[in-house]
Every structure is written in structure tokens, then in C-alpha cells.
Amino acid sequence: MPMTHGTKADGTPITDQMVEAMADQAEQGYDVEEMLRRRQRGRPAMGSAASSVESVRLDPELKRDLLLRAAEEHTSVSEIIRSAVRQYLRAS
């Protein structure tokens, strides 16, 4: 039976042949610039700087209404909250 070295994320066993192929590729070198371009980290930026997460307590009825509105508008609860806060701050 062939030697395996764990499994890939999809469950495929990592064989000696795969390890050899990866080692050969590594010895040939990698295009670091391409790797950095393909690298995506975290969520996309929302503004001029890193976003913060704020917590609020919602009573069950308000939470239900919020979920219904988000479903009606085919958007996220977070986007509904951001929109409401923006409107409130512009009105005051």
C-alpha cells in the first residue's frame, strides 16, 4: 500500500508522488508577486480604515422586524442596521 502524508482539504490522500511534484515545483521557484496578487485577506474594506464591530441588544420584536426587513430587501441584517444609523445621523 502506498505511503500517504495526510489528506488535502477535499479528503484526497497526499501521496509520495504528490509530495515529489510539490517539491519539484518549489525548487523551480514561485512568482511571489502573483501569489500576493491572488491572496485575499479578510473582508473587503467598507470605508477609509478598518471597520469596527459594535454590539447592540434588541428585543425579540425588533429583531423579528429587522430579520423580516432584511429578507424583504434581499440584504443582510448588518446592511439594514448601517443604513438605519446613517439615516438617523443625517436627520439629526
Domain ranges of the chain: 1-38, 56-92
Looking at the chain, the whole-number percentage of residues with pLDDT higher than 90 is 46
d(CA 29, CA 39): 17
The answer to pTM > 0.75 is no
Cβ atoms 51, 42 nearer than 8 A: no
40: left (phi over 0), alpha (psi -120 to 50) or beta: beta
d(CA 7, CA 14): 5
In 3D space, the residue among 5, 23, 24 whose CA is nearest the CA of residue 15 turns out to be 5
Averaged pLDDT for residues 35-53 = 75
More confident residue, 1 or 54: 54
- Per-residue confidence band for 74, with pLDDT thresholds at 50, 70 and 90: very high
d(CA 85, CA 23): 53
Model pLDDT, residue 47: 77
